[in-house]
Chains A and B, each alone.
Chain A
Amino acid sequence: AQSVTQPDARVTVSEGASLQLRCKYSSSGTPYLFWYVQYPRQGLQLLLKYYSGDPVVQGVNGFEAEFSKSNSSFHLRKASVHWSDSAVYFCVLSAGAGNTGKLIFGLGTTLQVQP
């Protein structure tokens, strides 16, 4: 069965500190992986995506993620967080073969950036 696990429900960091949000996945085939962000009172927005190739993918606002097949992981990183990065972050796995677009969402990690 395909699944996504975000082991940390909540992460608190200080502004300017580095960040890593963890994501583990289980997939029977080639995984398509995404990170989405949800700011307060808004819908989800795509941060970055991984299909194949270079395991480190760059996203918006200085975020990057590293895919590891051996560890079944797709961790999100940022070198220096800003207070505006406070949001809920979802790791997402594409489950559909062909283009059904059915996605499996992790439960999300709430990031709080303290001044």
Chain B
Amino acid sequence: EAAVTQSPRNKVTVTGGNVTLSCRQTNSHNYMYWYRQDTGHGLRLIHYSYGAGNLQIGDVPDGYKATRTTQEDFFLLLELASPSQTSLYFCASRPQGAETLYFGSGTRLTVL
């Protein structure tokens, strides 16, 4: 069973704050993804990566940076957080050659 672990589970910050969301997968999957989930919008892709050092822009990248430091670790950075970034964030991974995504349990971010 693929394991994707996100931290923290919950995070509260203020407008203009600096936030890093972490994701680790332990199955050596090549692909990793960051999504945000909002009522009325479903899941939207922020950034994704094919492997360590690789970054690809998703559909809603504004205000977000990402970094893939290793095969296992994928980080989402909000350098100047805004209330519009209050959301539930999911990380997911996928092995090459397969279409199935494996999701973490999510990080709920509140920007006051």
Contact = CB atoms under 8 A, between A and B. Distances in A.
A102 B42 CA distance: 14
Interface stretch (A62-70, A71-79, A103-111): A103-111
Given A43-B104, A43-B106, A90 B99 contact: no
Interface in B8-57: 31, 33, 40-45, 48
Most chain A CB atoms below 10 A, which of B31, B97, B99: B99
Given A43-B90, A43-B106, A105 B100 contact: no
8 smallest beta-carbon distances between A and B, as pairs: A43-B103, A105-B43, A105-B42, A107-B42, A44-B103, A101-B94, A43-B105, A46-B100
Q: Contact size class for A?
A: 20 to 34
Q: Contact size class for B?
A: 20 to 34
A113 to B, nearest CB: 21
Interface string B66-91: 00000000000000000000000010
Contact of B100 (A42, A49, A107): A49
Contacts of A108: 42
A102 B31 CA distance: 10
